[in-house]
Homo-oligomer: A and B are copies of this chain.
Amino acid sequence: MTNEKRLPRRNDPASTAARREALGLKGDVDLAPYVKVAESVTGTAVIPVSVAELHVSLGDYELSADGDVVETGRAEEDVVVPLAHTEGGLTVSLQRGAKAASESGGFRTYVVADRITRASCFVCRDAGDALALARWIEARVGEMRDWLRAADIPELSKHAVLREAKTHVVGPMCHVLWRFTTGDAVGPNMMTRNAYALNTAFVSPNAPVAIERIALEANMGGDKKSSYEYFQSGHGKTVIAEATLTDEAIRRVLRTTAEDLDELAWAGTHGAVASGMQSVAFTPASAVAAIFAATGQDLGMVGTSSMAHGTSRRIEGGLHASVRFPGLEVGTVGGGTALPTQRQWLELMGCAGPGKVYRLAQIVAAAALALEISASAAMATAGSESFFRAHFERGGLR
């Protein structure tokens, strides 16, 4: 019942060549750049990358000593956005939305918050003990932060700074959301290591009650699964993008009207409520996934990073459109960001390396709003004819 012959697992050239031969993979491929990012690397997947241009007012942000994201400046820029995807019509649609915004003064983006969370759980004897533990933990967040900074444990990351600990007791479980900032990286590894240390080296030996079990992660947050906890409180970078579209741009570029867009938003919002959809939006995941794939972000985070709350509102002379991303899990270091093509696309946006993560998060949000605007416009025309046309003509290419 077990596999007769197993493939070699290593990433040395001989093992790789043996794997490729055993699997009948033809041709030569240089896997050297990838031997450290994954095990049993055997080939590549090559995805085409399109580009679109956005005009955006981007904020400059710094993290305060307390962990707040503080705006220190703001400037309008033209940004070129790389989109790795194979969906005919996506790039041209996003570009159309960007044009409508650009002719209306451009996008404006804001970073609202920055946190990433490991949701651990301590199982106690009963709820009384779990409540005692919760109070004990909540009173020691500052102490724990200092301990993490000072501890001489090689596994710890100094980049992952503990900011808050939110406890939630259910039955004998004391769930704890360890909320960190992690600098320019998304940071799942570094916060995992620090949370493990907190659980086993700080809480466990010092807790005022007996702890029966510890789970480093127990789903009270939303690690790669969408949740209301993170839809609201955020995970990664919480970002809002907005544009105030003029009637002229709506008519000329989007070929529709503010009234039609407003009516569509109304029906779409009620449809979302009726279906139990968490997000209210049109297709943010298409844009998020395309930038994630181009820039070496974790594609397993596409779903959570695409949670979105869009709004549109008619105003004098046009329409205000916005989207709130509660948790863009983006990094400019770590993960796949240093791989050759991925690094190139980050550089194209001015987002490679340290100090660029809030910029990247804002560009993702603006690009997604561009697509929201254009896709909505296509849907809002009589009977959604434009949307149909796009699917027929562009989708028909394949």
Contacts and interface: CB of A to CB of B under 8 A. Distances in A.
Given A51-B40, A123-B267, A336-B86, A169 B112 contact: yes
A47 B304 CA distance: 21
A75 interface: no
Interface in A39-95: 39-53, 55, 76, 78, 80, 82-92, 95
A277 B226 contact: yes
A168 interface: yes
B232 A274 contact: yes
A132 to B, nearest CB: 10
A395 B189 contact: yes
A376 to B, nearest CB: 10
Contacts of A169: 112, 240, 324
Smallest CB-CB A-B distances: 9 pairs = A303-B303, A228-B276, A171-B311, A189-B395, A216-B384, A86-B336, A34-B48, A219-B271, A289-B299
Nearest to A34: B48
Nearest to A396: B189
A279 interface: yes
- Chain A interface category by residue count: 35 or more
A131 interface: yes
A208 interface: no
B3 A53 contact: yes
Contacts of A37: 48, 86-88, 397-398
B217 A384 contact: yes
Interface in A194-226: 196, 199-200, 204, 213-226
Interface in A336-364: 336, 338-342, 344-345, 348
Contacts of A292: 299
A45 B49 contact: yes
